[in-house]
Every structure is written in C-alpha cells, then in structure tokens.
Amino acid sequence: MASEQIQSLPSVILASKSKIRTRLLDSAGVKHTAFSSGIDENEIKSKLKKEKVVPVKIARVLAEKKAEKISLLYPNSLVVGADQILECEGIIFDKPKNLDEARDHLMKLRGRPHKLLVSVCLSQFGIKIWGHESEAKLVMRLLSDSYIDWYLQSMGEEAYQTVGAYKIEGLGAQLFSKIEGDYFSILGIPLLYLLSELRQRGVILK
C-alpha cells in the first residue's frame, strides 16, 4: 500500500537551475526535476524597478512568472518557483557579473545591514495555487580591503554566482556580524514552509 501511495504522488518541478535550491530539495527528500524557466529576469526586474515596485513584490512576481511558465508546459506537475532580492538602504543589488562587480558589491555592503527578501510559490496549469514570502536581515562586518581581496581570491567564480557575492553556508559566513531570519530563506528558498505545503497537498508523505 505504501509503495502504491508513493508511486501516485504528483511530480515536482523546480523552475530554476539553482544548484543550492536543488541541493536543498534533494537533501529534504523531495524528488524533483529542475528546468530553467527561460524568462528574462533582468528585463522584468528593470521594468518593476522603474515602476518603483517594492522589493518583496519583485521577488514574488519573478517567482510566479518562473513557475507559471513551466507549469503551462507540464500541467500535471506541481511547479516550484522561487526568487530572492537583496535590498540595502533602498538599493536593489543584482548578481554580480564578474569579480570586479563582486568586489564593488562587497565594498558597498560592508558595515551595513541589508535585507534578503525571498518568495516561493507553487503553480499548476499555469496558475499560482500557493505562495509564501520571507525576510531575513543581515549585518555585514566592516571588512578591510585586504580581506575582501582574499575572500574573492578564495571564492573565485562562486563569488558572482549569488546575489551579494556570498554563500553563508561556506566561507561567506565570515562576512557577517549578525544574521536574523530563516536560514533556508537566506540560502534561497523558504524550505520549511514549502515542505509543509507539499505535505498538505499529498506531494510528500506526512
């Protein structure tokens, strides 16, 4: 009976090629497939910024568009969309494009508090059926120039694979003096809230 129930569970698709989000779902035992949504995130984000949309709504819109696009292609699956926005003193930071941009971002963030606003949703048949937002507050140490250079040299390309140029699950933890908020949300997805919803929908066993 148990094996039949497991086989009947609906499939899950992550509308993202994010390695950390995939790793978190895998570690939590959520079997899924990951596809890039292919949406132009920069264009959407730029438009929303011009319209002075608040950061958490930008994250929500991006998460929804990712999930909805993939769910139209795979209507029998539950599609997870997620996005994360970094906001510091009214300025939204995008992923750095290279090490020079990563250095510039760290110079601007050092010694200051910033927020990570994260949105996750589920879509099916192209329609959003659930969503959740989380906010985390982080305070970066007043890093020296030499430390930033050492950090970037140590991180290499990983420094510009994430917003803020840091991964707190690794060397990035040394950048901070204080962190408030859900750990999984900081990594990129409010995992506990998502797992709870997947249980309610029978996607994973209770």
Catalytic amino acids?
A: 83
- Looking up tokens 């994360």 gives 84
Cβ–Cβ < 8 Å for 114, 138: yes
For residues 148 and 66, give the distance between their C-alpha atoms in angstroms, rounded to a whole number: 33
Does residue 40 form part of some domain? yes
Does residue 182 form part of some domain? yes
Contacts of 14 (CB under 8 A, 6+ apart): 21, 22, 25, 32, 33, 34, 35, 79, 80, 82
What are the backbone dihedrals phi and psi of residue 14, each rounded to the nearest 5 degrees, phi first? Answer: -95, 120
Does residue 9 form part of some domain? yes
Does residue 51 form part of some domain? yes
pLDDT in tens, 98-134: 999 999 999 999 999 999 999 999 999 999 999 999 9
Check residue 10 and give its pLDDT.
Answer: 63
Does residue 45 form part of some domain? yes
The residue type at 37? S
Check residue 5 and give its pLDDT.
Answer: 39
Q: How many domains would you assign to the chain? A: 1
Decide: helix, strand or coil at residue 39: coil
Check residue 9 and give its pLDDT.
Answer: 55
Check residue 180 and give its pLDDT.
Answer: 97
For residues 93 and 59, give the distance between their C-alpha atoms in angstroms, rounded to a whole number: 12
For residues 92 and 57, give the distance between their C-alpha atoms in angstroms, rounded to a whole number: 12
The domain containing residue 153 runs over which residues? Answer: 2-200
Does residue 205 form part of some domain? no
The residue type at 33? T
Among candidate residues 68, 84, 83, the one with its CA nearest the CA of residue 13: 68
For residues 161 and 146, give the distance between their C-alpha atoms in angstroms, rounded to a whole number: 21
Does residue 84 form part of some domain? yes
CA distance from start to end of the chain: 15
Does residue 145 form part of some domain? yes
Tens of pLDDT along the chain (206 residues)? 334 334 445 699 999 989 999 999 999 999 999 999 999 999 999 999 999 999 999 999 999 999 999 999 999 999 999 999 999 999 999 999 999 999 999 999 999 999 999 999 999 999 999 999 999 999 999 999 999 999 999 999 999 888 999 999 999 999 999 999 999 999 999 999 999 999 999 888 87
Check residue 3 and give its pLDDT.
Answer: 40
Count CA atoms closer than 13 A to 49's CA, side-chain side.
13
CATH number at residue 123: 3.90.950.10
